[in-house]
Amino acid sequence: MSSVLEKSLALIELLGEHPAGLPISAIAAATDQPASGVHRTLQELGRLGYVRQLQAQGDYVLTIRLPAMGLAFLSRAGITDVAQPVLDALAADSGELVRLSVIDGEELVWVAVAQGATRGLRYDPGQEQGVVVHLASSAGGRAWLSTMTDEEALLRIGSQGLLRHADGQGHNAPRTLPPLLEQLAEARRRGYATAVDSYIAGMAAMAMPVRGPLDGRVLGCLSIAGPAVRMTEERMSELSPRLLQGVGDLAGAAEGSKFLRSRRPAVDETPQRLAAQAR
């Protein structure tokens, strides 16, 4: 890491993954920064109100300032007003977890969620809003990849990595490219992508891309996820018309959100530009 800003953001992102806090030694090791530099950065972030120390010589945690800023942004951008009723209705009908991800620059990011299951076995990560979607192992990521040519999809996968390298990843997570490309081809034929025991062990999901109503460009992806014992292939087939309806509802409402309108990719988003970035 070269710049002060880059180092500071690395600390913030790490603390965002550990709401209970971390000691300076662990932060320094995880971000590959000297402990003295981490201490100075945390002191400055604390002065600005973005982190706080739990006690003298104790762990550092994020304050509520950044989450509050994020929630305020989503509200002002119109995402909550536009998307949440659609997500709530789909979650109620499916009885599962429903998530919306949107394209932000070169990444797909989860921004809204609704839980349909109120009791019993359910999938509810609770910490994935604002998280960049891992494309190769998740249904939402595969839904986005399926809208591209194989060449474009491979470049996206290459820039992010084939494996998520996180605890809890399922045994069906792709470890070679040919099976993943077959899954993308199947998603194109079927109209929706799936991921079973892939992103997280024991979880299954299905997802469809959300396209703009005027130009048809991909804005994001809508997914339904739940325990794999319940989200079987047959159940996904049953839910596909309802998921398609939700995608259509979101597409029709997209013009009501300045944020979603602005997510449209630039005209020059080509394989050549992506290839240049990969080099």
CATH code for position 61: 1.10.10.10
How many domains does the chain contain in total?
Answer: 2
Asked if 14 and 103 sit in the same domain, the reply is: no
Asked if 91 and 173 sit in the same domain, the reply is: yes
Q: Which residues pair with 195 in a beta bridge?
A: 205
Q: What are phi and psi for residue 103, nearest 5 degrees?
A: -80, 125
Q: How far apart are the first and last CA of the chain?
A: 19
State whether the Cα torsion 124-130-131-137 is positive or negative: positive
Asked if 58 and 80 sit in the same domain, the reply is: no
Residue 266 has pLDDT above 50, yes or no: no
Find the domain containing 140 and state its range: 76-278
68-126 pLDDT, tens digit per residue, is 676 666 656 556 667 888 999 999 999 999 999 988 878 898 888 898 877 666 666 65
Residue 262 lies in a domain: yes
Residue 172 lies in a domain: yes
> Cα–Cα distance between 205 and 222 in angstroms, integer?
10
Asked if 130 and 244 sit in the same domain, the reply is: yes
Residue 71 lies in a domain: no
Asked if 59 and 183 sit in the same domain, the reply is: no
Residue 191 has pLDDT above 50, yes or no: yes
Asked if 112 and 204 sit in the same domain, the reply is: yes
- Pick the last residue of a domain from 45, 66, 87: 66
Are 117 and 98 in contact by the 8 Å Cβ rule? The answer is: no
- Pick the last residue of a domain from 46, 66, 86: 66
Radius of gyration of the chain (CA): 20
Residue 226 lies in a domain: yes
State whether the Cα torsion 156-157-160-166 is positive or negative: positive
Residue 45 lies in a domain: yes
Give helix 35-47 / helix 24-31 axis angle, nearest 10°.
Answer: 110
Note the pLDDT of residue 82.
73
- Pick the last residue of a domain from 35, 66, 97: 66
Residue 38 lies in a domain: yes
Work out the average pLDDT over 254-271.
Answer: 52
Asked if 80 and 175 sit in the same domain, the reply is: yes
Residue 120 lies in a domain: yes
Asked if 53 and 187 sit in the same domain, the reply is: no
Note the pLDDT of residue 19.
83
> Cα–Cα distance between 159 and 147 in angstroms, integer?
17
Note the pLDDT of residue 144.
97
Residue 242 has pLDDT above 90, yes or no: yes
CATH code for position 126: 3.30.450.40
Asked if 55 and 108 sit in the same domain, the reply is: no
116-168 pLDDT, tens digit per residue, is 877 666 666 656 667 889 999 999 999 999 999 999 999 999 999 998 876 77
Percent helix, strand, coil in the chain (nearest 5)? 45, 15, 35
Asked if 115 and 211 sit in the same domain, the reply is: yes
Residue 109 lies in a domain: yes
Query: Could you give the angle at the alpha carbon of 14 between the alpha carbons of 10 and 16, nearest 5°?
Result: 120
Asked if 260 and 188 sit in the same domain, the reply is: yes
Around 212, how many Cα atoms within 13 Å sit in the side-chain half-sphere? 18
Asked if 152 and 62 sit in the same domain, the reply is: no
